[in-house]
Amino acid sequence: MWLLCGYPAGVSYELNAVIGRFDVLRRQTAGIRETAVAPLRQRMGLVPVTTQLFDEPAELADQDGAGPGQPCTATSPAFEQTLSYWSRGGPIAYVEADFHGGDGYQTAAVWRNGAKVWGPAHTWDFTGPREDWPINAALALLDVVPSSFERVSYHDLFLEVGLGWEQDMDGWQSAGRAARWAATYNEWHQEYLAKQERTARAVAEFEKHRRLPDVPVALDGTTIMGLLGLPPGPLIGAATRCLQDLHLEHGPLSREEAVTRLRAWAAEQDTGCRDR
């Protein structure tokens, strides 16, 4: 059974963070030691809540009737002042989630223009519409929107913004530290897209060299190495894949045709092969 943020029942998930525009949070946390902003989608960022953000011990503000295991928002007067100050640069949300074995809760509150404007909202009942879950509702107030390609009966902004990328606070801390080199969200995002492109190219290159299962090949690897004068390696795999692709496109090849096609392919690849 799938519950919070795409995680199956039985998987633990923990979140205790401040969410807002990445560039705003970077400016507001610049003077706080050990604090890092993890990038999210839609130009958002996440600051893991650590002891460095508290100037005094936190007090637990319970919801009426809340008991052990039920949602409580960890706040202190100093922390609330910090959130109010940060929100002068743009709206921010304080969010909590804690799930173990499929059971847990969410809590969220939103600050804007120096004041708390919504929440805290709590729930441990996730049978209602996802749009009404506290974190999704808070993200909507931060102007996070569903993707244009989303075609489902509900909008899960939790997933949309990328809060499923990590499962615990250590993961978010690492993500924030890894992004410290970027001066702005645009700088991080350009490198993020470049990494995706490099990964896609690497996958394509791997697929090009991977032999297709159950597709015949007119020449075996030993014959290919002899014809091209090459040792075992990626080029032999690529040559085999080339012959398999030709089989799929044109049907079975005779040995003579396969040799001709193989030599033509090798010449295009600039393999340095010796004509045999």
Q: Would you place residue 151 in the very low, low, confident or very high pLDDT band (cuts 50, 70, 90)?
A: very low
Q: Would you place residue 251 in the very low, low, confident or very high pLDDT band (cuts 50, 70, 90)?
A: confident
Average pLDDT over residues 2-8: 46
Which of 60-69, 150-159, 167-176, 231-240 ranks highest by mean pLDDT? 167-176
Average pLDDT over residues 22-43: 91
Q: Would you place residue 33 in the very low, low, confident or very high pLDDT band (cuts 50, 70, 90)?
A: confident
Whole-model pTM over 0.85: no
Output the pLDDT for position 207.
60
Decide which of 173 and 69 is more confident.
Answer: 173
Whether the pLDDT of residue 231 is over 70: the answer is yes
- Burial category of 149 from C-beta neighbours within 10 Å (exposed 0-12, middle 13-18, buried 19 and up): exposed
Closest residue by Cα to residue 90 from 143, 148, 53: 143
Residue 95 near residue 138 (C-beta atoms within 8 A): yes
What is the distance between the alpha carbons of residues 171 and 196, in angstroms, rounded to a whole number? 20
